[in-house]
Amino acid sequence: MGRAKLELVLQQKLAAGEKIFSPFMTAGDGGLDVLEERIRFFEENGASVIELGIPFSDPVADGPTIQEAGIRALKQGTNLQAVLDILQETKDRRSIPIVIMTYINPILAFGVEQFALKCEQAGVDGVIIPDLSMEEEDIISPALQKHDLAFIRLAAMTSPKERLIELAKRSEGFLYAVAVTGTTGAREKHDSHVTTYLQDLKTYSRVPVLAGFGVSTSKQARELSEHCDGVIVGSKIVQLLHEGKLDEIKRLIEGSRKAGSLS
């Protein structure tokens, strides 16, 4: 379980000649009672790992679509404790790795050690904390290591080479390559420098490199996956879930996995 499980699953996908596809969804958007059902949907339709966002009142990395989903979830009473409780209750009924995306304030309010323990008990495999800098991560990394949780780092195109090398060296599970300069959200196209950036990260990282932010079509997934190990799709998935367009999500996943195939 935990970090070892996440890394094994992703390596098996790549060894089978597939690219990795990770959907992002906001926990509690649509109600916490549909969380297990949505996890099962992604598991049955070819997702490799699910990134599960914890709604927060000040989501600095999120664009409008995910911010609105967070507001809807918060209005329904969603919080970190409630999400982890449901994940713990349902952990024996899923096999797909789960990665929690949350900000540092909810973790500090919860208690760092208690958070890591609860994640382990809930069958969570990894954690992403977008507003925690590398210089400050010692406040949580020992607890995550103790409870076998992959600490997934984010890399930005604006960072100097030396910092990217260090982030890649530290990242566990996978390295989250932010493919835009800005917040999450659908983009018509990505910056021309993203190709070189992803290729460089691949040379620095011992774990798979996944491109996220601004990926909303199978075509974009194909283009980015040519230079890394797969993609994370957030805002588009959140939008389609809210609109109940599950068939479009299926087509997006299938198209992205085919587009990224190494065969």
**Which residues are identified as catalytic?**
51, 62
By CB atoms closer than 10 A (0-12, 13-18, 19+), residue 251 is: middle
Instruction: In whole angstroms, give the CA distance from residue 33 to residue 30.
Output: 8
Instruction: In whole angstroms, give the CA distance from residue 200 to residue 228.
Output: 10
Indicate the length of the chain as a whole number.
263
By CB atoms closer than 10 A (0-12, 13-18, 19+), residue 92 is: exposed
Contact call for residues 225 and 195 (beta carbons, < 8 A): no
Tell how many helices (H) and how many strands (E) occur in the chain.
Answer: 12, 9
User: Where does 102-253 show beta strands of DSSP type E?
Assistant: 126-128, 150-152, 154-156, 175-178, 209-212, 230-233
Query: Cα separations (Å) of 27 from 83, 115, 128, 218, 239?
Result: 7, 16, 15, 24, 13
Query: Cα separations (Å) of 112 from 6, 150, 228?
Result: 21, 15, 32
Residue closest to 111 by CA, chosen among 135, 137, 132, 81: 81
**3-state SS assignment for residue 230:** strand
